[in-house]
Amino acid sequence: MSHHRQFYINGQWVEPKGQGTVDVVNPATEEAVATIALGNHEDVDLAVSAARKAFESYSQTSREERIALLEKIISVFQKRMGDVAEAISQEMGAPAKLSKMAQAPSGLGHFAVALEVLKDYQFEEQIGNTLVVKEPIGVCGLITPWNWPMNQLTCKVAPAIATGCTMVLKPSEVAPLSALLLAEILDEAGVPAGVFNLVNGDGPTVGAAMSGHRGIDMMSFTGSTNAGRHVMQNGAGTIKRVALELGGKSANILLDDVNFEKMVAHGVMSCMNNSGQSCNAPTRMLVPNSRMDEVVAIAQAVAAKVKPGDPNAEDTVIGPVASKTQWTKIQDLITQGIEEGAKVIAGGPGRPEGVSKGYYVKPTVFANVTNEMTVAREEIFGPVLSIIGYENEDDAVRIANDTQYGLSGYVSSGDIDRARNVARRIRTGMVHLNGAPLDNRAPFGGYKESGNGREWGHHGFEDFLEMKSIFGYVPKG
């Protein structure tokens, strides 16, 4: 078991001021694989002080200097890809194939996109005699979750570095190993001291100290909607910018002209991917009432092929969920779904057959779900799908929008114009048409209680920049 009881502050690994520690548990084995220190407000103060001092010089670096730095980071990251993938599988249970093909590469992808955006980004605009400039906002507080750990780290760190900001990062204490690796990568790449600082800890202690800190100019948080509310409330005292990427309960509308065999299977697998631990997962499948029996049969057959198991096994489709706390929450919600009258057509409560250790959840599909049931309204964050019937297109749109969330949506139709028209009616920050994948150059984020602000691509730069109007910059005449 490894021990990571230091924080990365001002370009050095330093001993924490906080006295607590916590084990990092491999959810596949329920055994500790590492120990990390838990920081306190003194650790946050030191990290913020280092970031504020570094901002004075780093904010004045040229575009060319930051391009060169990002290129070096990418080079070092590429060398550590294997280490990153292994850490992700250990800390949150992602199958090795998923870690190698998606989880680890997503981090490299965000640095690559930030580099390309930086090369052509317009930091200045002339309006009449006025020059409008976009400047780095200052010291950024970054809080990241455990479900796609490197993805969420880098989609914040990369634009912060690209725009000239400095930062303090608090990764999830459930899955901090990726963040520690990222600190090593940035250190080797030569990121100036104080530009990137890492303090491990929990939300109520380190997270609260960061979001309420007067020395932090903006907070970028990804996590649950409830935790996001606390970050926003704590940030209100200093009127700092707070960018939130929160929960979702995304509807997957299958219109009556789709290939049901294909798109039901796609919807089931998309929901189960990463053990259902994706904020944008299509967890509500909306299908015509007239096709319900057909859909149920297809979904049942597909779910039976979703094999939970050892993340290192070749035939594993999904690994465990990330923690005992998460496993217990999912079990309670599955039980509540049954009590409220939803019909289990695959999976159900308890561990998969033959599994006695690890936080594994049966791939579960509910039919006969109404949109008022808890399993249709609450973000479960596990491999649990709810199938809901609708009468017509208008009814499908109504059900899709009848939620507190607005992160993502999915629409499939044999007629692309029909799919496009329905997509425009869905109140979400993103919509996938006919199974289209994500594009990390396009903005990622949601409406309503799914958050505010946008990450990824050139839109991801905006929350890290302040806008200044310099009147009379160009003399008249």
Catalytic residues: 245
Question: What's the rounded Cα separation, in Å, for the pair 410 and 231?
Answer: 29
Q: Give the tokens for residue 266.
A: 């796609």
Q: Whole-angstrom distance between the N-terminal and C-terminal Cα of the chain? A: 71
Question: What's the rounded Cα separation, in Å, for the pair 44 and 297?
Answer: 53
* Residue in the structure block whose two tokens are 């940035």: 186
- In 3D space, the residue among 161, 265, 196 whose CA is nearest the CA of residue 47 turns out to be 196
Q: At a CB cut-off of 8 Å and minimum separation 6, what does 296 contact?
A: 345, 367, 387
How far is the CA of 134 from the CAs of 115, 163, 164, in angstroms? 17, 9, 11
Percent of residues in the chain assigned helix, strand, coil, to nearest 5: 40, 20, 35
Q: How many CB atoms sit inside 10 A of residue 475's CB?
A: 6
DSSP state of 103: I
Question: What's the rounded Cα separation, in Å, for the pair 383 and 321?
Answer: 9
Question: What's the rounded Cα separation, in Å, for the pair 256 and 252?
Answer: 13
Output the CA angle 433-436-438, nearest 5 degrees. 115
**Torsions phi, psi for 76 (to 5 deg):** -70, -40
* Residue in the structure block whose two tokens are 């913020």: 48
SS3 368: strand
Beta bridge partners of 24: 34
Strand order of the β-sheet with 451-452 is 12-14, 7-9, 196-198, 166-170, 139-143, 218-222, 241-245, 451-452
**Torsions phi, psi for 93 (to 5 deg):** 85, 10
Q: At a CB cut-off of 8 Å and minimum separation 6, what does 364 contact?
A: 303, 334, 344, 346, 347, 348, 382, 383, 384, 385
- In 3D space, the residue among 363, 358, 365, 443 whose CA is nearest the CA of residue 408 turns out to be 443
DSSP of 228-250, one letter per residue? HHHHHHHHHTTT-EEEEE-----
Q: How many CB atoms sit inside 10 A of residue 204's CB?
A: 10
> Residue type for 113, please?
V
